[in-house]
């Protein structure tokens, strides 16, 4: 019996208790077999559930793209735990994982899910991630990835190609921060929601780790360079020795020159009229552009969200394989394996939960938005709230990674475009 504490309903279904089994125990088809065609799953929204006879009946919880019967109902069904208060939510979840109760139609799509979470990384590279200990928290097996390989992915087809591991730059430096490539990209055809027109890239030649900043104008380049150099030196404990740029005036100016002199950094510039010498930085730009195109196409988010997309793309790039190394740029630069358990599909629906203390009794428990990226270090998530035209940073979210995306209203009418805050 499923007893839903939320919906105050009991549902009796014939099931077997078989801990450890990896197949389906309760499927929608089985429910339909018991109750006829009036079984309607509601996978999207804050409270996914199954409706039986028009009434919400079984609460579902989504974990790694699978739906599970909610804790309370599971407990009452399991019987052996008695009251659901005996176990913590975490413990129950662990048990649920083992038993895989109430798996629904999306169970075979883990490989696709991680392909999307990884910004449409090519399946061979993704299989490399799945089959190695390059990262922690990756939730699909090599088999899942291989099974997904044959599936048609529309955004990938539209973006013309899937991404392969980024090519080696033939790097010559062997020490972190010995040589940092920098480049300016833009102006973009559309201003970002937070008024950026360019992005600047920073690429550590030795580790292939990169950083992107979105800026409003070229005049901000010198202070951005200074900021990122200081950040990287603090993060690694190493010192930047050389930087390499083209001869754009944003890099060749007295302000930057004096900053670099003060920091004791040598500035290499490409020879005049041979921008291809800045190859490493330009390859990075192209890689990021490709990510952004595919991610925006998949998300249905408007082009003004390119600034969120490019920063997310850069994060994903840092935790992806590179040719000729079994370590990610992240690990080579930061010194720790990246934990990718927080990765989510760019642009998916996300509901920011509002803590009890911050809302009144009748206020909604969550605010709807779309997931657009990660806080630094992947410590929290960024969610675009269309009605406020701002991005909220939160650790307490419900995601709907499979729901229809791109259908949200992005008409700015009724909101004040000046109030955009990052
Ligand atoms: Zn794809």
Instruction: Output the CA 159–ligand 1 centroid distance in Å.
Output: 9
Q: Are 348 and 399 in contact (CB under 8 A)?
A: yes
pLDDT at 77: 37
Q: Give the relative orientation of helices 123-130 and 110-117 as an angle to the nearest 10 degrees.
A: 100
Tell me how far the alpha carbon of residue 125 lies from the centroid of ligand 1, in angstroms.
13
Ligand 1 mean position, distance from CA 161 (Å): 9
- Indicate the DSSP class of residue 187: -
Residue 3 CA: distances (Å) to CA of 44, 47, 83, 85, 234: 21, 16, 11, 14, 53
- Cα separation of 49 and 102, whole Å? 11
Taking the centre of ligand 1 as the mean of its atom positions, its distance from the CA of residue 155, in whole angstroms, is 5
Q: Rounded to the nearest whole angstrom, what is the distance from the C-alpha of residue 41 to the centroid of ligand 1?
A: 26
Looking at residue 187, what is its pLDDT? Answer: 96
Q: What local confidence, expressed as pLDDT, does residue 61 receive?
A: 66
What is the structure's pLDDT at 161?
A: 53
Say which residues have a Cβ less than 8 Å from residue 238's Cβ, sequence separation at least 6: 175, 176, 177, 232
For ligand 1, a single-atom ion, the residues with CB < 5 A are: 120, 153, 156
Q: Are 312 and 373 in contact (CB under 8 A)?
A: yes
Distance 22 CA to ligand 1 centre (A): 27
Structure confidence at residue 52 (pLDDT): 73
pLDDT at 150: 73
| Ligand 1 mean position, distance from CA 162 (Å) | 7
Residue 304: exposure state from Cβ atoms within 10 A (0-12, 13-18, ≥19): buried
- The predicted pLDDT at position 169 comes to 52
- Confidence (pLDDT) at 181: 95
CA of 163 to the centre of ligand 1 (A): 9
pTM for this predicted structure: 0.71
Say how many Å lie between the CA of residue 154 and the centre of ligand 1: 7
Give me the tens of pLDDT residue by residue for the chain, a chain 422 residues long: 566 666 666 766 655 554 433 333 455 666 666 666 676 767 666 677 777 777 777 777 665 555 666 544 443 333 333 333 333 445 545 544 444 344 443 344 788 889 999 999 999 999 999 999 999 999 888 988 888 887 778 778 776 554 555 554 555 678 999 999 999 999 999 999 999 999 999 999 999 999 999 999 999 999 999 999 999 999 999 999 999 999 999 999 999 999 999 999 999 998 776 666 678 888 899 999 999 999 998 888 999 999 999 999 999 999 999 888 899 999 999 999 999 999 999 999 999 988 888 888 888 889 999 999 999 888 899 999 999 999 999 999 888 887 644 333 232 232 333 332 22
* Cα 303 to Cα 299: distance, rounded to the nearest angstrom: 10
Distance in Å, CA 313 to ligand 1 centroid: 14
Q: How far is the CA of 275 from the centre of ligand 1 (A)?
A: 31
Strand-strand pairing, 242-245 and 210-215: unpaired
pLDDT in the model for residue 403: 62
């Amino acid at each position: 019996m499923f007893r839903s504490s939320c919906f105050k309903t009991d549902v009796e279904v014939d099931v077997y208790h078989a801990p450890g089994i990896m197949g389906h125990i309760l499927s929608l088809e089985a429910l339909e077999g018991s109750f006829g065609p009036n079984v309607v799953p509601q996978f999207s929204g804050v409270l996914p559930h199954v409706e039986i006879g028009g009434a919400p009946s079984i609460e579902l919880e989504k974990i790694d793209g699978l739906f599970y019967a909610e804790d309370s109902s599971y407990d009452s069904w399991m019987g052996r735990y008695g009251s659901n208060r005996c176990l913590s939510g975490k413990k129950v979840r662990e048990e649920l994982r083992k038993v895989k109760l109430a798996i629904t139609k999306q169970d075979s799509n883990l490989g696709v899910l991680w392909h999307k979470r990884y910004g449409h990384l090519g399946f061979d590279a993704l299989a490399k991630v799945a089959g190695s200990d390059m990262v922690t928290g990756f939730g699909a097996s090599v088999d899942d990835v291989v099974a997904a390989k044959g599936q048609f992915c529309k955004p990938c087809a539209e973006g013309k190609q899937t991404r392969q591991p980024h090519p080696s730059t033939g790097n010559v430096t062997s020490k972190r921060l010995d040589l940092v490539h920098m480049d300016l990209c833009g102006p973009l055809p559309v201003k970002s929601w937070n008024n950026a027109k360019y992005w600047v890239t920073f690429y550590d030649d030795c580790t292939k780790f990169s950083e992107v900043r979105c800026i409003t104008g070229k005049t901000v380049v010198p202070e951005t360079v200074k900021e990122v150099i200081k950040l990287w030196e603090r993060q690694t404990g190493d010192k930047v020795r050389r930087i390499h740029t083209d001869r754009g005036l944003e890099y060749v100016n007295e302000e930057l020159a004096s900053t670099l002199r003060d920091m004791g950094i040598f500035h290499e510039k490409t020879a005049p009229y041979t921008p291809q010498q800045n190859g490493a930085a330009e390859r990075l730009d192209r890689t990021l552009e490709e990510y952004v195109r595919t991610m925006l196409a998949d998300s249905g988010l408007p082009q003004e969200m390119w600034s969120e997309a490019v920063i997310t793309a850069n994060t994903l790039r840092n935790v992806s394989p590179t040719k000729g190394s079994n370590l990610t740029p992240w690990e080579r630069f930061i010194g720790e394996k990246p934990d990718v358990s927080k990765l989510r599909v760019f642009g998916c629906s996300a509901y920011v939960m509002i803590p009890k203390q911050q809302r009144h009794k009748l206020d909604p428990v969550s605010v709807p938005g779309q997931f657009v990226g990660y806080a630094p270090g992947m410590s929290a998530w960024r969610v675009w709230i269309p009605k406020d035209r701002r991005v909220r940073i939160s650790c307490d979210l419900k995601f709907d990674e499979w729901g229809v995306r791109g259908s949200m209203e992005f008409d700015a009418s009724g909101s004040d475009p000046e109030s955009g805050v990052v």
